[in-house]
């Protein structure tokens, strides 16, 4: 429903989907394995599978109810339980093309989540991610809209002036992640800062290209077999 109903509150989601599909048009799926992480009920996963015809398609999500619904709706796609919050150990399956849309802003431990995505992307493969832009004027507008819709900052460290401090930080360009304690579990966008995602990819020497599209930042990364990554895999 997020992508299909015409309500104004879902306009950014619909615009994001168009941008994502435009990006995927540039990628060759022929003969490739594909995994969509944070697939929910498989709506986008099924569109990608139907449109680009990869050799195999997988939907990965942490919510069992979402997966059961996806299995009912979308034959021909394998749906499996994966929790980005927990480090993937052992020798996990690797896919040629991995997508992760509208998911990373909800995780408690962004570093663990990104490391998991890197590990399941075959070296030389393609990792496509989206993340909301929650800073500056765009961040203030989105924050105001969420508060108007009834969202509260209960999951963030509380202070007497939390709302004022949050808005001031948005306006001055401070890192919003200072408001977000590392946690296990899932939450709202509050305290997410896509600049942290840039830093994590750079620190792991993952080549990537990122650009802003309206209120979304899109990423196309190409994980490679670095020495550190090889040693990590060997230790598992």
Residue 145's nearest CA partner among 158, 134, 156, 159 is 134
Give the pLDDT of residue 4: 56
Q: How far apart are the first and last CA of the chain?
A: 40
Sheet holding 208-213, edge to edge: 78-81, 56-61, 33-37, 95-100, 121-132, 216-221, 208-213
More confident call, 8 vs 91: 91
**Residues written for the chain:** 236
HSE (side-chain half, CA atoms, 13 Å) at 207: 9
pLDDT of residue 27: 96
- More reliable by pLDDT, 214 or 182: 214
18-55 pLDDT, tens digit each:
888 999 999 999 999 999 999 999 999 999 999 999 99
Q: What is the dihedral of CA 20, 22, 27, 31, to 10 degrees?
A: 80
Task: State the DSSP H helix or E strand holding residue 210, giving kind and residue range, or none if neither.
Answer: strand 208-213
Q: Give the mean model confidence (pLDDT) for residues 107-135.
A: 95
| Bigger pLDDT: 187 vs 68 | 68
Confidence of residue 231 (pLDDT cuts 50, 70, 90): very low
In the predicted model, what is the mean pLDDT of the chain?
A: 88
Coil vs helix vs strand at 133: coil
- List, for residues 165-199, the tens digit of each pLDDT value: 999 999 999 999 999 877 778 888 999 999 999 99
Q: Record the tokens describing residue 210, joined without a space.
A: 């990122």
How far is 179 from 21, CA to CA, in rounded Å?
A: 33
In tens, the pLDDT along 3-16 reads 555 554 555 666 77
8-133+192-235: CATH superfamily = Vaccinia Virus protein VP39 (3.40.50.150)
- Burial class (CB within 10 angstroms; exposed 0-12, middle 13-18, buried 19+) of 121: buried
The whole-number average pLDDT for the span 110-116 is: 95
Contacts with 164 (C-beta within 8 Å, 6 or more apart), sequence order: none
Task: Give the confidence band of 158 by pLDDT, cuts at 50, 70, 90.
Answer: confident
Whole-number Å distance between alpha carbons of 52 and 75:
16
3-state secondary structure of 70: helix
3-state secondary structure of 168: helix
Extents of the domains making up the chain: 8-133+192-235, 136-179
The region of weakest confidence among 34-38, 58-62, 126-130, 157-161 is 157-161
- Mean pLDDT to the nearest integer, 111-127: 96
Instruction: Please report the pLDDT score of residue 13 as a whole number.
Output: 64
Distance CA 140, CA 136 (A): 6
| Residue 109: φ, ψ to 5° | -120, 95
Asked if residue 228 has pLDDT above 50, the reply is no
Predicted pLDDT of residue 66: 96
């Amino acid at each position: 429903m997020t992508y299909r109903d015409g309500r104004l509150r879902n306009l950014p989601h619909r615009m994001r989907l168009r941008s994502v599909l435009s990006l995927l048009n540039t990628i060759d799926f022929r003969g490739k394995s594909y995994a969509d992480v944070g697939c929910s009920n498989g709506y986008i996963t099924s569109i990608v599978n139907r449109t680009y015809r990869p050799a195999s398609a997988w939907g990965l999500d942490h919510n069992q109810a979402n997966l059961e619904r996806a299995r009912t709706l979308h034959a021909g796609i394998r749906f499996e339980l994966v929790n980005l919050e927990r480090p993937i150990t052992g020798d996990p399956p690797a896919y040629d093309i991995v997508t992760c849309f509208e998911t990373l802003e909800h995780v408690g431990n962004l570093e663990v989540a990104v490391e998991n995505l890197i590990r399941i992307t075959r070296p030389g493969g393609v990792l496509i991610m989206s993340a909301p832009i929650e800073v500056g004027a765009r961040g203030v507008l989105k924050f105001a809209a969420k508060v108007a819709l009834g969202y509260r900052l209960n999951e963030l460290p509380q202070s007497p002036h939390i709302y004022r401090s949050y808005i001031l930080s948005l306006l001055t360009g401070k890192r919003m992640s200072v408001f977000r304690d590392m946690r296990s579990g899932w939450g709202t966008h509050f305290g997410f800062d896509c600049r942290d995602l840039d830093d994590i990819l750079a620190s792991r020497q993952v080549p990537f290209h990122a650009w802003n599209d309206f209120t979304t930042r899109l990423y196309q990364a190409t994980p490679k077999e670095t020495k550190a990554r090889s040693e990590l895999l060997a230790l598992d």
